[in-house]
């Protein structure tokens, strides 16, 4: 898994980094709240470990702002303040679980496994096989796409791209993030393969439609949303 650790204590970072890397996870590290927030919103992660007391932007505010754009990613909050008030505040801010310092690495790994499993179970209950935005419907089981009940034929790559856009609707996705998740390989940043396939999709999804679902955010990337917003 790709995990993001937002923590400013070098000793804690070292312990977590060694343990999770040894378990086969890929770990990115931010040592202040603003850097962590930028990384969380600008890249795709499977899990976030967030310290409550971090510089620049505190962990509580970071958690709230991540939740505003991503309601599903598991967030485990670390805190040296084990009072009920602080724990409740962290959970109210959007954290899924908390751990008080000091903690054992084995317990941290167990909490991560539990939250990931809980998220997968929740996804199954929400029937993730069907993705919908406006009158566009994507079925991951039958690999079919319809808009206004009309079937749209897509190539395998176009389908993966559309699925990624719809899964992250209302979230701006940069080109590298799309490359890593749709093509599953680190392409040269100079490649225009994303732009080419976005154009392919637009011709099939949005052409001759009053509501344009695939939108360009100049200098940032692409977003799929129902309401048009001028990005200039």
In this prediction, residues 202-214 reach a mean pLDDT of 92
pLDDT at 230: 44
Q: Which domains does the chain have, with CATH numbers?
A: 2-125 (3.40.50.2300), 130-224 (1.10.10.10)
Q: Pick from 65-69, 138-142, 185-189, 197-201 the range whose average pLDDT is largest.
A: 197-201
- 3-class secondary-structure state, position 151: strand
> CA neighbours within 13 Å on the CB side: how many for 61?
11
- 3-class secondary-structure state, position 106: helix
User: Which token pair is 208?
Assistant: 């001759």
Please state the length of the chain: 232
Q: Could you give the CA distance from residue 130 to residue 138 in angstroms, rounded to a whole number? A: 6
CA 33 from chain centre, in angstroms, equals 17
Instruction: Report whether pLDDT(216) > 70.
Output: yes
Residue scoring higher pLDDT (106 or 123): 106
DSSP string covering 40-73, please? HHHS--SEEEEESS-SSS-HHHHHHHHHHH-SSS
Instruction: Report whether pLDDT(84) > 80.
Output: no
User: Which token pair is 36?
Assistant: 């962590």
When mean pLDDT is compared across 63-67, 118-122, 203-207, 227-231, the lowest value belongs to 227-231
pLDDT at 205: 94
Q: Which of 60, 51, 105 is nearest to 80 (CA)?
A: 51
Sign of CA dihedral 63, 65, 66, 72: positive
User: Which token pair is 152?
Assistant: 């749209």
Q: Could you give the CA distance from residue 39 to residue 30 in angstroms, rounded to a whole number? A: 8
Q: Could you give the CA distance from residue 224 to residue 142 in angstroms, rounded to a whole number? A: 22
Instruction: Report whether pLDDT(231) > 50.
Output: no
Q: Which of 185, 197, 124 is nearest to 158 (CA)?
A: 197
pLDDT in tens, 27-60: 999 999 999 999 998 888 999 999 999 999 999 9
């Amino acid at each position: 898994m790709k995990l993001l650790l937002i923590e400013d204590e070098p000793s804690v970072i070292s312990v977590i980094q060694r343990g999770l890397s040894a378990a086969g996870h890929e770990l990115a590290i931010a040592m202040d709240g603003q850097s962590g927030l930028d990384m969380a919103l600008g890249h795709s992660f499977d899990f976030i470990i967030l310290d409550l007391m971090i510089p620049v932007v505190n962990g509580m505010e970071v958690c709230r702002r991540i939740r505003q754009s991503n309601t599903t990613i598991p967030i485990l909050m670390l805190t040296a303040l084990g009072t009920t008030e602080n724990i409740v505040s962290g959970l109210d801010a959007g954290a899924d679980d908390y751990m008080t310092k000091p903690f054992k690495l084995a317990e941290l790994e167990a909490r991560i496994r539990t939250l990931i499993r809980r998220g997968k179970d929740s996804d199954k209950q929400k029937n993730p096989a069907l993705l919908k935005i406006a009158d566009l419907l994507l079925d991951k089981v039958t690999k079919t796409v319809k808009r206004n009940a009309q079937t749209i034929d897509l190539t395998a790559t176009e389908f993966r791209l559309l699925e990624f856009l719809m899964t992250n609707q209302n979230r701006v996705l940069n080109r590298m993030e799309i490359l890593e998740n749709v093509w599953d390989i680190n392409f040269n940043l100079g490649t225009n393969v994303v732009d080419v396939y976005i154009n392919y999709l637009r011709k099939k999804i949005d052409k001759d439609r009053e509501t344009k679902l695939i939108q360009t955010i100049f200098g940032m990337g692409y977003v799929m949303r129902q309401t048009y917003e001028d990005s200039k």
